[in-house]
Structure 1
Amino acid sequence: MDLQLLLALVLGIATIVVLVLRTRLDAFVALLIAALVTGLVAGQSALEIVDSITTGFGKTLGSIGIVIGLGVAIGKILEVSGAANALAMSFLRVFGKGREPWAMASVGSLVSIPVFCDSGYVIMNPLARSIARVKRAGYVTLALALGAGMTLTHHLVPPTPGPLAVTGLLGADLGAVILVGLAFTVLLLPIVVLYAKWIGPKLESSVTEEVKEAVYERAAVVGAAAGGHHHGTATGVADWDGEPAASELPEDPDPALGAPPAGAKRHRVGALVGSLPLLVPLLLIVLNTVTSAIDQNTQGTLGAKYEPSDWAVPFVFIGNPVVALTIGVLLAVYVLLPRWTPRTRVQHWFAEAASSAGLILLITGAGGALGQVLRSSGVGDALADAIAATALPAFLVPFLVATLVRLAQGSGTVAMITAASVTAPLVATLGISPLVAAVACTAGSMILSYFNDSYFWVVTRFTGLEGTAALRGWSGITTAVWAGSIPLLFILNLIVG
């Protein structure tokens, strides 16, 4: 690889890491500056660099910006309507007594698809506390399983904004990424549960007194009042029927839904109804993927530019992510929210959702800008040639880039978008499947959540773990699922690549 182009790539990535870690600038500005540095070191003219940045930014947001905005809007309505809580309770009932860690991991993975994992964990943590309080044991296991379940889909399954952005940057099929992400989640869930069940009892004594008192004090008071002493298979455990106490659950709907009119029933969202704004768009997108594959196979145009047949056009239309997620928003607003919800309040929630998505949209666009500079400057082609000359499987490049960036600066979203930006110019040259490259970016970004990751602090503070206990519990479980994804990537590459 040409030394100048290699230097341009190394300095570009180093710029992102240094600016995010050592300055007051965020990832959006860091990515733009990295694009400038990369282009200048690679020998591009100043005007060519600016043109590449604006072109890459616009093309990327043109394809994925609307979808990210719609996705976070659905998540916000699921949160405030009580639908997320209804889905969580449904999972607890399905798994039943004795399988609470499996239920919590599954709850986490489901809720984190539409809801950011930071806020999702805050919403769902009372479920873990309620179960542990009645059982009088096992809080760390349940809290870690919940948090790591959220990590899986937060990193692997669109319409979570990070994977969604990666899909757009690499030009992968969204339906295929959803299916593979869900498959990876299901296959990695046993690692989450087994690690949580192994490490949880070891760390239970390390829980801070404040959290221990908040979780277990009430059960101890009840036991003392009854004149009993609970040990092992204590009354507290025996009384657990798979249903957390209603008083320990988060509030069903947001109080801002408004008071119902006189005589109206209290608004409550069931699990089936609550799942519609999430399931319907996902099913429509996957239906589009399946229909298009069948149509292409019938036409004999696999690998060529695809023009849908007349019979396939309706499925391609309603399965387009923009249309599918618009349908999801309509279902969320008109099915989940009661008819008396103030219009201004709904608009306020949409504004909150937009503000939470704003920075991710900017980071995604800046990632597209960096990718375009890598293409136009020749760095992408040079890197592809260098990789082709080695024995390293090409799909490991995005995985390793995402891993290194995550370790350096902490954000999984920034790590996967950076990896996708670097990888995008290589996809066609090396013959990497866009699907494999996208999943490699997202899986690589799961490694070792620790002090520089905001979610690390959310989980460990709520769990009551500090110091080495926090590293053994939370950093360990995230690294375990990262390691578990490596053999799955090799299998996926054999099947798809």
Structure 2
Amino acid sequence: MDLQLLAALVLGIATIVVIVLWTRLDAFVALLVAALVTGFVAGSPATDTLNSITAGFGSTMGSIGIVIGLGVAVGKILEVSGAADALARAFVRALGAGREPWAMAGTGAMVSIPVFCDSGYVIMNPLARSIARRKRAGYVTLALALGCGMTLTHHLVPPTPGPLGVAGILGADLGGLVLAGLVFTVLLLPIVVLYARWIGPQLESQLLPPVRESVYGRAGVASGPPSSAVGLRERDTAADTDGAGTGDDVVIDDPAAALGTPPPGASPHRVSAGVASLPLVVPLLLIVANTVTTAVDRNRQGVLTGDEGYEPSRLAEVLAFVGSPVVALLIGVLLAVYVLLPRWTTRSQVGGWLSEAASSAGLILLITGAGGALGQVLRDSGVGEELAEAIASASLPGVLVPFLVATLVRIAQGSGTVAMITAASVSAPLVPSLGLAPLAAALACCAGSMVFSYFNDSYFWVVTRFTGLDGVAAIRGWSGITTAVWLGSLPLVLVAGAVL
């Protein structure tokens, strides 16, 4: 392997670690500096490195920036209207105490099959916050379980783009990959929940103060652990109306406090769980409908990937528009404002809440974009391609070749989709000589790409910033849980290589 490119990777990562952990600068600056260092050490011309940074930042913002902005707007309205609290009550009542992490992981896995995990996480995170607020603890556990549940199906189950492309490149049966990916997901979900339950309580005290305040209220910031916040909160005196134990045990914020006092003669504002779910469910259903209709349409025409030869039907065109994440979440914002809020809410109040949401999303957007910029520099510099070729030339058990190629490319440049597509492209000529079934090779590519999500992965920044983890806590929480499911997938990949 080219030692210069290896040095570029190592020094780029080291730059991020040093700046984030030992200086006064934040992750946004660290990522940009690391991108410059990586490009310089790799020998890329300065102008090419700058072009890669701007291209990577722009493409990342183009794909997820609007989605994050709209998602936090929906979350803010869910919070101030009391809708999030209503959903949390219904969720706890339906599941019973102690099963919330399983529900979050399972829900995340289902949502992320048709929906990009970035978008799905932004949409579903308010529910995790509401349940934690109701329980007065456990937000990190719930947030990590939700995020990693989404990671599983995003990497393993078509019709997400990565697995779909892998199936096309390797000639694997698409239906077989769907079924095998679902089996992998079910078997790996316990690892997600167990790791989240183990690490979550250890990281709860390290939540960033703004996130702690958003989840638990000001007392959670002032007094440390959320359980100390009883004095500044209202008690839910209802006798176990939500199924979460006796009413005296649950301490919550007044969900309607932000709405102000109703005008004379107006009824107190209440939101049912069914109505509260509309801004979340409707966008998800639109995105799902778009994905399913497009997949069926492509399968009917025999064009699984690419646009050449594909002529979308009229229905597919309509759903491609309303089911795009941007339009679907815009509809979610409209539903949140006009369905969840009472009629006596003023325009200035709504504008203020949306401004607060935009303000909270600002740093998340910058950091996510900078992560995309670093990933683009790593791709353009050739680090990922060099690693792939090096591992493919080593003497390894057949099924481990695509698995490790995907692993190293993921570490090198951050994108799981790029990692699995690269691994499939490198492995495709080797599959016959390795004695591998195309389905086993496809599973190896997809599973290997889940490893160690960290600074150069845009989803790392989405999850850790919304969860409120930074520095070492972010690595222990999110990088750790993604590595745990990667390790858990290794024996499954070996079994698949032996029996398929």
TM-score normalised per structure 2: 0.65
Q: Where do 5+ consecutive residues of structure 1 fail to align?
A: 130-142, 201-208, 218-237, 406-416, 459-470
Give the conservation status (yes or no) of the 8 Å contact 1:121–1:147.
no
How far the C-alpha of 1:127 sits from its partner, in A, is 3.0
Partners of 2:266 and 2:141 in 1: how far apart?
40
Partners of 2:295 and 2:30 in 1: how far apart?
39
How far the C-alpha of 1:180 sits from its partner, in A, is 12
Give the conservation status (yes or no) of the 8 Å contact 1:381–1:425.
no
How far the C-alpha of 1:184 sits from its partner, in A, is 8.5
Task: Name the residue aligned to 1:366.
Answer: 370
Task: Name the residue aligned to 1:379.
Answer: 383
Code of the aligned partner of 1:38: T
1:267-306 paired onto structure 2 within 5 Å? 267-305=269-307, 306=310
Partners of 1:61 and 1:360 in 2: how far apart?
11
Is 1:153 aligned with 2:157? Answer: no
Partners of 1:396 and 1:169 in 2: how far apart?
20
Partners of 1:40 and 1:477 in 2: how far apart?
29
Give the conservation status (yes or no) of the 8 Å contact 1:11–1:37.
yes
Code of the aligned partner of 1:152: A
Is 1:40 aligned with 2:40? Answer: yes
Secondary structure of 1:266's aligned partner: coil
Partners of 1:362 and 1:198 in 2: how far apart?
31
Give the conservation status (yes or no) of the 8 Å contact 1:74–1:329.
yes
> Cα deviation per residue 1:157-212 (whole Å; 9 max; x = unaligned)?
39xxx99xxx9998989xx9xx9999988766655777899999xxxxxxxx9979
How far the C-alpha of 1:355 sits from its partner, in A, is 2.0
Partners of 1:185 and 1:339 in 2: how far apart?
44
Partners of 1:350 and 1:435 in 2: how far apart?
42
Is 1:338 aligned with 2:342? Answer: yes
Q: Where do 5+ consecutive residues of structure 2 fail to align?
A: 109-119, 166-173, 201-222, 232-239, 429-440, 455-459
Is 1:329 aligned with 2:333? Answer: yes
Partners of 1:42 and 1:376 in 2: how far apart?
10
Task: Choose from 120, 127, 134 the match for 2:134.
Answer: 127
How far the C-alpha of 1:421 sits from its partner, in A, is 9.9
Partners of 1:148 and 1:363 in 2: how far apart?
23
Report how many residues are paired: 411
TM-score normalised per structure 1: 0.66
- Distance change (3 Å), C-alpha of 1:490 and 1:317: farther
1:223-302 paired onto structure 2 within 5 Å? 242-245=244-247, 248-302=250-304
Partners of 2:198 and 2:383 in 1: how far apart?
46
How far the C-alpha of 1:439 sits from its partner, in A, is 8.0
Partners of 1:356 and 1:434 in 2: how far apart?
39
Code of the aligned partner of 1:18: V
How far the C-alpha of 1:425 sits from its partner, in A, is 8.7
Give the conservation status (yes or no) of the 8 Å contact 1:153–1:185.
no
Task: Choose from 332, 346, 352 the match for 1:348.
Answer: 352
How far the C-alpha of 1:292 sits from its partner, in A, is 0.9
Secondary structure of 2:98's aligned partner: helix
- Distance change (3 Å), C-alpha of 1:60 and 1:287: same
- Distance change (3 Å), C-alpha of 1:210 and 1:399: same
Task: Name the residue aligned to 2:51.
Answer: 51
Partners of 1:367 and 1:24 in 2: how far apart?
19
Aligned-residue RMSD, C-alpha: 5.1
Secondary structure of 1:106's aligned partner: helix
Secondary structure of 2:355's aligned partner: helix
Is 1:312 aligned with 2:316? Answer: yes
Code of the aligned partner of 1:483: A
1:44-83 paired onto structure 2 within 5 Å? 44-83=44-83
Secondary structure of 1:101's aligned partner: coil
Partners of 2:84 and 2:20 in 1: how far apart?
33
- Distance change (3 Å), C-alpha of 1:264 and 1:431: farther
- Distance change (3 Å), C-alpha of 1:455 and 1:84: closer
How far the C-alpha of 1:298 sits from its partner, in A, is 0.9
Give the conservation status (yes or no) of the 8 Å contact 1:36–1:49.
yes
